[in-house]
Amino acid sequence: GAGVSQSPRYKVAKRGQDVALRCDPISGHVSLFWYQQALGQGPEFLTYFQNEAQLDKSGLPSDRFFAERPEGSVSTLKIQRTQQEDSAVYLCASTLSGGLVSGYTFGSGTRLTVV
Amino acid sequence: QQQVKQSPQSLIVQKGGISIINCAYENTAFDYFPWYQQFPGKGPALLIAIRPDVSEKKEGRFTISFNKSAKQFSLHIMDSQPGDSATYFCAASKETSGSRLTFGEGTQLTVNP
């Protein structure tokens, strides 16, 4: 596709519910990143994939957060037993090679609200 | 620990004026400093970026000034337009494969007509 596509755009979850957020990167982009953006804050790094390999997951805030990219293209961020503090916009970004020369291309994000 | 500090939090300028946003970083290993522009409901989009081997980079109305010794960099928007109204984020990274970006807190810019 022309850009990074994320779905759903909005998700309301009851506290304790599991959610799955999807990211379709730009075709051919090797690297994929997930960021969490709380209201009024800058994005914070969650995890990074190069193809199907998850090379850095040091930003995941707890073991309730899990990400996968099994075929090296589409990625899913899963949050188990959601808590109110998980409410945020979850941004996905991809790059052609993993380096920053060309910059990230971000999707429009999924806004998660936990009630 | 906030590794990139950004100010001001919000900024209002008149059309045609100069908008200035400042950032300071702590990690001397950072070697890539981009600025991102974000409109409501959209993801951040790369605006301009600089590496520490130059002190200034200009692209159209946007200029980054970089002070390596002070560990500070700033974005200047010349001839600000209402369409520039958005949230601006500075960021920093060490440019290796898979390098994460560390973002500032953001500046909400409003340009009045």
> Is the per-residue pLDDT at B96 higher than 70?
no
DSSP letter (8 states) at residue A26: P
Strand positions, DSSP E, A1-115: 5-7, 10-13, 19-24, 31-37, 44-50, 53-56, 65-68, 75-79, 88-95, 105-106, 110-114
List per-residue pLDDT tens for chain A, 115 residues long.
Answer: 579 999 999 999 999 999 999 999 999 899 999 999 999 999 999 999 999 999 999 999 999 999 999 999 999 999 999 999 999 999 999 988 756 655 789 999 999 999 9
pLDDT recorded at residue A97 = 73
Query: Helix, strand, or coil here: A76?
Result: strand
Of B46, B97, B102, the CB nearest to A99: B97
Within 19-38 of A, beta carbons closer than 8 Å to B belong to: 31, 33
pLDDT recorded at residue A96 = 83
Query: Helix, strand, or coil here: A86?
Result: helix
* Residue A50 to residue B98, Cβ atoms within 8 A: yes
- Please list the residues that pair with B107 across neighbouring strands: B88
Task: Residue A106: list chain B partners with CB under 8 A.
Answer: 43-45
Determine the distance in angstroms separating the CA of A67 from the nearest CA of chain B, rounded to an integer.
Answer: 16
pLDDT recorded at residue A94 = 93
Spatial neighbors of B82 by CB under 8 A, at least 6 apart, are B15, B111, B112, B113
> Is the per-residue pLDDT at B97 higher than 70?
no
B1 against A59, higher pLDDT: A59
- Nearest chain A residue to B94 by CA: give it: A100
Q: Which of B99, B102, B105 to mutate to test the interface with A (most CBs of A within 10 A)?
A: B99
- Nearest chain B residue to A93 by CA: give it: B43
Per residue in A56-87, pLDDT tens? 999 999 999 999 999 999 999 999 999 999 99
* Residue A103 to residue B93, Cβ atoms within 8 A: no
